[in-house]
């Protein structure tokens, strides 16, 4: 009986104290400990490195590393970047400063600015604590304190759900895409990140147009299967472009002209 009373009181306390503001000014419910979320990210990344072939393509690794470094040096911290040998056009970033890029994505983009848009978008999810937000919502609504126990049991059904909350659900057989609000937010944050690093943010619009065209072929782009793109997404970026361009012009004036081709 004590547990039945204790959890609602604890949850209510969390809900009252866990509202934070995202980088775009949106109110978020986030109360999972960051150390726990980061640990989940590290576990998921380690699992992927064991399950997938890491690319030895020096050109791909140099390109991915150069762009990721240019973007993340604005943020601080050490970020690990791994290129995975996979024909899917996909990429992700995880809590704990981890970035994964599939060779299929590198083959799809036209230039380093478009790849910067992809990486900036995924890093935007991490900066906005979207994994924590989704895990907190899941914990508050459905799973309760059991979600915390799931972190230590990644192979269990609940553990797979926990990993799904990181945005890696497809890898573990559970598709749990970010919400459209979170996707739009990551688009905006990513455009600003790439612009501040000296990449042309206008290429983010060209990227999503290219992704939409590619998804109309026989095989849909995997990146879009968990990251829905549509006319509204492109329209939002177009509306935000004046601000992103101001960051880009400032970066150019400061001599930030990354050469990652």
Q: Which residues are catalytic?
A: 122
Tell me the angle at which helices 231-253 and 202-215 cross, rounded to the nearest 10 degrees: 150
Residue 250 CB partners (closer than 8 Å, separation 6+): 196
In angstroms, the first-to-last Cα distance of the chain is 63
Distance in angstroms (rounded) separating the CA atoms of residues 227 and 167: 10
**Phi/psi class of residue 167: alpha, beta or left (left: φ > 0; alpha: ψ in -120 to 50)?**
left
Q: State the burial class of residue 147 (Cβ atoms within 10 Å of its Cβ: 0-12, 13-18, 19+).
A: buried
> What is the side-by-side strand order in the sheet with 98-102?
80-84, 98-102, 91-94
Closest-CA residue to 167 (of 95, 68, 215, 252) = 95
- For tokens 């690990």, what's the residue? 80
Residue 58 CB partners (closer than 8 Å, separation 6+): none
């Amino acid at each position: 009986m004590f547990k039945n009373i204790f959890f609602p009181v604890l949850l209510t306390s969390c809900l009252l104290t866990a509202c934070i503001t995202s980088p775009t000014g949106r109110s978020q419910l986030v109360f999972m400990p960051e150390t726990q979320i980061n640990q989940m990210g590290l576990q998921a990344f380690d699992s992927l490195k064991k399950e997938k072939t890491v690319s030895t393509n020096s050109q791909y690794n140099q390109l991915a590393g150069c762009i990721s470094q240019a973007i993340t040096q604005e943020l601080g911290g050490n970020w690990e970047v791994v290129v995975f040998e996979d024909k899917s056009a996909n990429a992700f970033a995880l809590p704990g400063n981890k970035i994964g890029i599939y060779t299929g994505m590198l083959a799809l983009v036209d230039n380093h600015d478009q790849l910067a848009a992809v990486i900036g978008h995924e890093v935007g999810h991490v900066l906005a604590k979207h994994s924590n937000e989704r895990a907190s919502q899941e914990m508050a609504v459905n799973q309760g304190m059991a979600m915390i126990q799931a972190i230590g049991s990644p192979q269990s059904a609940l553990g797979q759900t926990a990993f799904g909350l990181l945005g890696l659900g497809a890898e573990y057989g559970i598709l749990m895409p970010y919400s459209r609000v979170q996707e739009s937010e990551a688009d905006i944050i990513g455009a600003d990140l790439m612009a501040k690093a000296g990449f042309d943010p206008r290429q983010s619009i060209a990227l999503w147009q290219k992704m939409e065209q590619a998804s109309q072929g026989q095989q849909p782009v995997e990146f879009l299967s968990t990251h829905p793109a549509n006319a509204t997404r492109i329209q939002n970026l177009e509306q935000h472009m004046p601000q992103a361009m101001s960051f880009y012009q400032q970066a150019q004036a400061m001599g930030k002209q990354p050469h990652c081709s």
